[in-house]
Structure 1
Amino acid sequence: MNATGTSTVAWELLDGGVKGVAKKFSQDRGRALTTADGRAVVLTVADGHGSRAHFRSELGARWAVEAFTASARIYAHEVVRRGQDAANWPRLLAEARSLPQQVVHAWRRRVLIHEANSPAHGGNGSKSADAAPGGTAGSAPEADLAVYGSTLVGAVITDRLLVCWQLGDGDIVLVDQDGAAHMPFYTGPDMGDETESLCEPEAWRKARLHWQPLTGGPPPGVLISTDGLSKSFADHEGFLAFATGVRSRAASHGVAAVQAQLPDWLGHAAKYSGDDATLAGAIPAPGPGTAPAHPHTDTH
């Protein structure tokens, strides 16, 4: 922090994705951007379910990224504006807990607008996007949100706070400058293909939250990805080694060199997992900054 209160942390971004082998197109979407005059980063990835029952899920993933990005940019500006004072953190934490509901409502509205104009299962397309769930007799049928089903992972990073959200599968890895890697939401090996989804009723209640103030030394690198990347590794340790390698290679060769190689790395992963693989990341540029401390994770 300099004398004017402006962050001294500069962020370099990674952003890439590939489709799974034998797939016609990717169901994933992702985005990495800076906001608040470069003082905050927003990262997000979404993974459309992609099965026959979810035949518009690539649209669901796209709108999930758009909805999260819109809400997260507003939140990031508030964190930059108020987050330097720890007295404001309880209120910012409360706002972080309410963000998934904002995102789900925005996503649902976008889906219903599309359904009103192009019903997934036929019909005259006359249903209003503002209609309440469970119509009455003689009304147009309720939209099948599962058609657009998608997971969502996102993060907001500033020099003082790291906030992450997750709904459904996917991965968040925090990599410290010394190479130590940590996954705030990891609970063990994935035991199947079932996952929470934006298409579920009151989906925001199933979103997980990780809240982490940052104090002293450099902040962690943050990598978020769809599960097609982690599934390509034989074990959890192999995936963590990959994440550590991304940060160490960024330090030794520069983030631009890592970005140039990212399509090859993700393509290699997609060959092993058979799934789409998408990654968005933020690496703190060399120089003075802050370091992680006192994490807080909500699992409900």
Structure 2
Amino acid sequence: MVKKLIEKLSRAEGMAEKPEAPKWRIIQETVQGANRKLDNIPNQDAISVWQPSPLELPLILALSDGYRSPKSFRRQMGSQLAVKTALLILQEFVNYQPNLDHLRAFNTLVIDKLPQQLVTTWKKAVQHHLQEHPFSVEDLQNVAAKEGFYARQALEHNPFLAYGATLNAVLVTQEFILYLQLGNGDIICIDNYGAVTQPFLKDERDELKSLSFSNAWTDFHVRLIPLAPDKTPMILVATNSYAASYQTEAEFLQAVKNYLFQIRSQGCDTVQKNLNIQLEQISQQGRGDDISLGIIKKIDDRDIVDNLKLLKQTLAQEQNKTQKIKHKIDFMSRNI
């Protein structure tokens, strides 16, 4: 009778065995460039994440780099609105709950409509900000002084140019990974053995792309792939200034792979703790630009430090559940 009672209470406390879902971590940081500090220019990058249930899917990572042009004098706001928009639209996409078969059948819809939604929503947010903070005469005069009269005309014709920004975003669900990119920046995938792949080929024309351009949605790169449980990569997303801080592509890719090895040996918490200082040093040694970097990592068997922390947390939770059961048994025994 006591055994049946314990089994019943265990099921009530959720102690019945069930498959353990993979754990996912997000690491993120953005730093003001070394040269920007000297010139007293605020960080023009923005980075934001969404993971409603810690360590679980779905999750979103988005980052944006303010477009480097005198016309884009509100690029800091433009990049902030870009990541907010990406999180908003991709959350709506998740809430729609498309399954992989549906997405395969309507892949054109995903590729065509999602960028349009992103650009349209971003421009609405910009319009709202512009209504509350219209350009001053001095703003327009400064643009004309730096880039000429035609630059001022272009800005008056297309005020979105003042908010120019790139966008790189990744959505991971239990069924698929969605990559989006507009403008420069890097999305790098690293498998469990350190092999590097990129969802999009490098295109020098991307250096000139921005959300502020007319028909900007046509410049988006979008890729949707199934989530392969046994081959899930670590995904690193960074603004262009990170790669530009290295002299060669090989040095850059080695630096990317080093994050995988750091996570393996030190754990995600330590990597997150040290990331700010690391990026500041990279900026100082490189071009002195702002740098934003985010990492999405599924905790696997090789992540010893993180697995040990998770094991300790699970043990503490189970001990707490066991203690609750003992208290209930004692209470019921006294009242039999």
Short-chain TM bin: 0.7 to 0.9
Q: What aligned pairs does 1:68-107 form with structure 2 within 5 A after superposition?
A: 68-78=86-96, 81-83=97-99, 86=101, 88-91=103-106, 94-107=109-122
Shift in Å, 1:30 = 0.4
Question: Structure 2: which 5+ runs fail to align?
Answer: 1-16, 139-155, 303-336
Question: Structure 1: which 5+ runs fail to align?
Answer: 124-140, 289-300
Higher helix share: 2
Q: Residue 26 of structure 1 aligns with which residue?
A: 43
Structure 1 position 155 matched with structure 2 position 170: yes
Partner Cα distance (2:273, 2:74) in 1: 31
Q: Residue 65 of structure 1 aligns with which residue?
A: 83
Shift in Å, 1:194 = 4.5
What amino acid sits opposite 2:67 in the alignment? Answer: H
What amino acid sits opposite 2:85 in the alignment? Answer: A
Shift in Å, 1:216 = 4.5
Q: What aligned pairs does 1:34-183 form with structure 2 within 5 A after superposition?
A: 34-35=51-52, 38-78=56-96, 81-83=97-99, 86=101, 88-91=103-106, 94-122=109-137, 144-183=159-198
Q: Check whether the contact 1:35–1:77 (CA below 8 A) recurs between aligned residues.
A: no
Partner Cα distance (1:27, 1:210) in 2: 27
Shift in Å, 1:249 = 1.2
Shift in Å, 1:27 = 0.4
The 1:87/1:287 distance shift into structure 2, 3 A limit, reads farther
Q: Check whether the contact 2:31–2:290 (CA below 8 A) recurs between aligned residues.
A: yes
The 1:249/1:143 distance shift into structure 2, 3 A limit, reads same
Q: Residue 279 of structure 1 aligns with which residue?
A: 293
Rg larger in structure = 2
Q: Check whether the contact 1:17–1:279 (CA below 8 A) recurs between aligned residues.
A: yes
Partner Cα distance (2:300, 2:126) in 1: 42
**Corresponding residue SS for 1:274:** coil
Q: Residue 291 of structure 1 aligns with which residue?
A: none
The 1:245/1:120 distance shift into structure 2, 3 A limit, reads same
**Corresponding residue SS for 2:71:** helix
Q: CA RMSD of the aligned region, Å?
A: 2.6
Q: Deviations over 1:147-167 (max 9, x none)?
A: 110011101012321110101
Partner Cα distance (2:223, 2:103) in 1: 17
Shift in Å, 1:17 = 0.7
What amino acid sits opposite 1:227 in the alignment? Answer: N
Give the TM-score of the pair, scaled to structure 1: 0.80
Q: What aligned pairs does 1:258-277 form with structure 2 within 5 A after superposition?
A: 258-271=271-284, 272-277=286-291
Aligned residues: 263
The 1:174/1:7 distance shift into structure 2, 3 A limit, reads farther
Q: Tell which deviates more after alignment, 220-229 or 35-44.
A: 35-44
